[in-house]
């Protein structure tokens, strides 16, 4: 299924040949995310974060769909969804998790050079994507998001805050960025960083979402920065 407004999509086996952005820890062409998905399968359980109120006619793109938790919820809400992930294994898991494939197009592709026409989407979801890109590539992500949104389109952003309990775990390879044993690194954002992350968009709202996670009887604080942006009309 090809959604209106999108460039004709290449077959999956062709799309996966596109260059993907080097995530932290990538060495000699290996993708630590792909390795993690291949070893452990579905990584994300439970319910997805709260979804924004979207019209069923809204064309939605999820960047970094992972194993499909959010895509499934969007499809159930009646929205036609396009989803991409740089991990071939994650994209396959996402396709398997989606019960209504007639309303979802799921591809393995780069978030920095997507195979879609400019202005193809009314809404873009970017949860925990920017924090796994090297700093220079975050500017590339911002450029691609701007290109893909229609005027008046919305970006919904979510990524870890410096107040999350995992901040500081692993080897610090840059300010606020930590590489873990899996080969995956995460950048933890300040509110000011997020305010300036998508300079061509208008920031509509920004807040820090905090909750608690219990691990082996110990309560740990979790924290994300959640933001909404709009492309100028």
The pLDDT tens digits of the residues spanning 172-199 come to: 999 999 998 888 899 999 999 999 999 9
Question: How confident is the model at residue 73, as a pLDDT?
Answer: 84
Q: Where are the domains of the chain?
A: 33-38+55-230
Mean pLDDT to the nearest integer, 132-152 = 96
Q: Whole-angstrom Cα distance, residue 82 to residue 206?
A: 25
Confidence of residue 232 (pLDDT cuts 50, 70, 90): very high
- Residues of the chain above pLDDT 70, percent: 79
The answer, yes or no, to whether residue 2 has pLDDT greater than 90, is: no
The answer, yes or no, to whether residue 105 has pLDDT greater than 60, is: yes
- Residues of the chain above pLDDT 90, percent: 55
Q: Is residue 187 packed enough to be buried (19+ CB in 10 Å), middle (13-18) or exposed (0-12)?
A: buried
Which listed CATH number (3.40.50.2300, 1.10.340.70, 3.40.920.10, 3.40.50.150) goes with 33-38+55-230? 3.40.50.150
Question: How confident is the model at residue 3, as a pLDDT?
Answer: 41
User: For residue 88, what is the enclosing H or E element?
Assistant: helix 88-97
Confidence of residue 12 (pLDDT cuts 50, 70, 90): very low
Going across the sheet that includes 149-160, the strands are 104-108, 81-85, 60-63, 121-127, 149-160, 218-230, 202-215
């Amino acid at each position: 299924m090809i959604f209106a407004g999108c460039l004709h999509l290449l077959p999956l086996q062709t799309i996966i040949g596109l260059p993907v952005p080097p995530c932290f820890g990538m060495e000699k062409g290996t993708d630590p995310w792909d390795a993690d998905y291949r070893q452990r399968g579905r990584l994300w359980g439970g319910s997805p974060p709260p979804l924004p109120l979207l019209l069923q006619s809204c064309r939605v793109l999820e960047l970094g769909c992972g194993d499909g938790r959010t895509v499934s919820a969007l499809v159930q809400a009646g929205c036609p969804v396009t989803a991409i992930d740089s991990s071939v294994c994650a994209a396959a898991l996402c396709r398997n998790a989606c019960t209504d494939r007639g309303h979802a197009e799921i591809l393995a592709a780069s978030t920095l050079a997507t195979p879609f026409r400019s202005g193809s989407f009314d809404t873009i979801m970017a949860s925990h994507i920017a924090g796994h890109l090297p700093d220079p590539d975050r500017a590339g992500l911002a450029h691609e998001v701007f290109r893909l949104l229609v005027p008046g389109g919305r970006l919904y952003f979510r990524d870890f805050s410096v107040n999350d309990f995992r901040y500081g775990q692993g080897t610090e390879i840059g300010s606020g960025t930590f590489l873990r044993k899996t080969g995956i690194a995460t950048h933890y954002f300040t509110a000011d960083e997020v305010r300036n992350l998508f300079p061509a968009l208008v920031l509509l709202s920004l807040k820090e979402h905090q909750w608690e996670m219990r691990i082996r009887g110990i309560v740990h604080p979790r924290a994300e920065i959640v933001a909404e942006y709009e492309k100028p009309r």
